[in-house]
Amino acid sequence: MYKEKIPKTTIYRLAIYLRTLEKIFREHRTFISSQEMGTLCGIDSAQVRKDLSYFGQFGEVGRGYSVKNLMDNLKKILKLYRRRWKVALAGVGHLGTALLSYRGFREAGFEISCAFDPDPKKIGKAIQNAKIYPPYKIEEIVSKEKIKIGIIAVPGDFAQDVAERMVSAGVRALLNFAPVKLNLPSGITVKNVDLSTELISLPFYLK
Amino acid sequence: MYKEKIPKTTIYRLAIYLRTLEKIFREHRTFISSQEMGTLCGIDSAQVRKDLSYFGQFGEVGRGYSVKNLMDNLKKILKLYRRRWKVALAGVGHLGTALLSYRGFREAGFEISCAFDPDPKKIGKAIQNAKIYPPYKIEEIVSKEKIKIGIIAVPGDFAQDVAERMVSAGVRALLNFAPVKLNLPSGITVKNVDLSTELISLPFYLK
């Protein structure tokens, strides 16, 4: 409904705010100002207030935001409240294996429940809770498990095909680590992860 | 000099603009408007203009930005023009191995030239151009090769120690994949990569 009007960058920043609030919460803090949120997140405090204003009035005059309250609200907005999302992973190479072992996903409310790789030595094994299947099983397993979120960690040449097959089986949002632009039907959300961008911004600070 | 006044988020966005311009350039486009840049990068066009305005006047009235000219200028600002940065990597597990094989770093002007891992089976081998050394060699190799940029891909418990040793050997900027906050002297730039944040923003778009 209102979703079309909210910038994607706002949603991404809500995720940053949530991660920061979780940290603050573990340190037993109860209130935080938009200024401090901004500083901790590296985001202008006016931007913090604008992003949150799309979803309601969360601050209390003179006290700022209740950490617990804002955290719960952000979880509700981001659909992470009292639920766990199943995720399908394509590609169990080094990156895929690293992602399967990454505890942060589980802590954030996600579980990679199945993985796909053509390597016969990997098929049938399980890493964490994810059983590894051959790629021709993508449609069957993804639709049977009603999975809506996929991670693409295959080489660039295979990414488009694998993504299309996930989408045909019901996946509606993809995290794409392959260095290619995916062409998918409208209504499918794709988030490209480009690790180079992170590295590129470092030399600026060097003498 | 002026560096203190420029928001870190601006520098990060310059990296996003550069990656987008490189793509546009490969498609033989010659000019681009701030509106189109904004759309392609998922960033408000007023923000694009503000970010660039810190560094000069790059647009041409009625034509927008010359792709080649803006690309070269951003490379100069980000210190990526006509030079290649050597990078030291700590941790040759699955993630570290994936990073060593990641072509995007090389294309962006970086070369992981040495790596560190305690596993005797890995020490002495090389992946791409990076020879693998035991961790006690960090100080020796990093200072000998005059490396200013480090990547931390070790388990959380080891990240602080490894980061300190890289810094003592001359590293001034770090890309940190470990899920811990590093405490380092001021003047050291740390960019934390939190893959969960990318994933967290996806469910919002699901029905």
Interface predicted TM-score (ipTM): 0.88
> How many CA atoms within 13 Å lie on the side-chain side of A109?
22
Are B196 and A18 within 8 A, CB to CB?
Answer: no
Compute the mean pLDDT over every residue in chain B, rounded to the nearest whole number. 92
Name the residue type at position A23. Answer: K
**Considering only CB atoms, which chain B residues are within 8 Å of A127?**
none
Q: Does A94 have pLDDT greater than 50? A: yes
In tens, the pLDDT along A96-132 reads 999 999 888 988 899 999 999 999 999 999 999 899 9
Name which of A94, A103, A196 is nearest B104 (Cβ-Cβ).
A196
Q: Could you tell me the fold of the domain covering A85-196?
A: Rossmann fold (3.40.50)
In tens, the pLDDT along B142-189 reads 999 999 999 999 999 999 999 999 999 999 999 999 988 899 999 999
Q: Does A187 have pLDDT greater than 60? A: yes
Name which of B172, B179, B203 is nearest A85 (Cβ-Cβ).
B203
pLDDT of residue B102: 87
Give residue limits of the domains in chain A: 3-77, 85-196
Name which of B78, B175, B202 is nearest A191 (Cβ-Cβ).
B202
Which residues have CB under 8 Å from A159's CB, separation 6+? A152, A176, A178, A180, A182
Are B201 and A191 within 8 A, CB to CB?
Answer: yes
Percent of chain A whose predicted confidence (pLDDT) is above 70: 98
**Mean pLDDT computed over A34-45:** 89
The alpha carbon of residue A52 is apart from the nearest alpha carbon of chain B, in Å, by 15
Q: Does B94 have pLDDT greater than 60? A: yes
Helix-strand-coil split of chain B, %, nearest 5 = 45, 20, 35
**Considering only CB atoms, which chain B residues are within 8 Å of A194?**
19, 104
Please report which confidence band the pLDDT of residue B2 belongs to, taking 50, 70 and 90 as the band edges.
low
The alpha carbon of residue A197 is apart from the nearest alpha carbon of chain B, in Å, by 6
**Assigned CATH class of B3-77:** mainly alpha
* DSSP calls for B173-202: EEEE-SSS-----TT-EEEE--HHHHHHTS
**Considering only CB atoms, which chain A residues are within 8 Å of B7?**
42, 44
In tens, the pLDDT along A44-93 reads 899 999 999 999 889 888 889 999 999 999 999 999 998 899 999 999 99
In tens, the pLDDT along B10-26 reads 998 999 999 999 989 99
User: What does DSSP assign to residue A180?
Assistant: S
**Considering only CB atoms, which chain A residues are within 8 Å of B191?**
198, 201-202
Contact A152, A90 (CB under 8 A): yes
Which residues have CB under 8 Å from B78's CB, separation 6+? A200, A201, A203, A204, B11, B14, B15, B18
The alpha carbon of residue B141 is apart from the nearest alpha carbon of chain A, in Å, by 19
Name which of A43, A95, A204 is nearest B78 (Cβ-Cβ).
A204
Name which of A11, A104, A197 is nearest B194 (Cβ-Cβ).
A104
Are A204 and B77 within 8 A, CB to CB?
Answer: yes
- Distance of alpha carbon A83 from alpha carbon A189, whole angstroms: 20
Q: Does A1 have pLDDT greater than 60? A: no
pLDDT of residue A182: 93
- Distance of alpha carbon A193 from alpha carbon A178, whole angstroms: 8
**Which is more confidently placed, A138 or A56?**
A138
pLDDT of residue A3: 59
In tens, the pLDDT along B95-144 reads 999 999 988 898 889 999 999 999 999 999 999 989 999 999 999 999 99
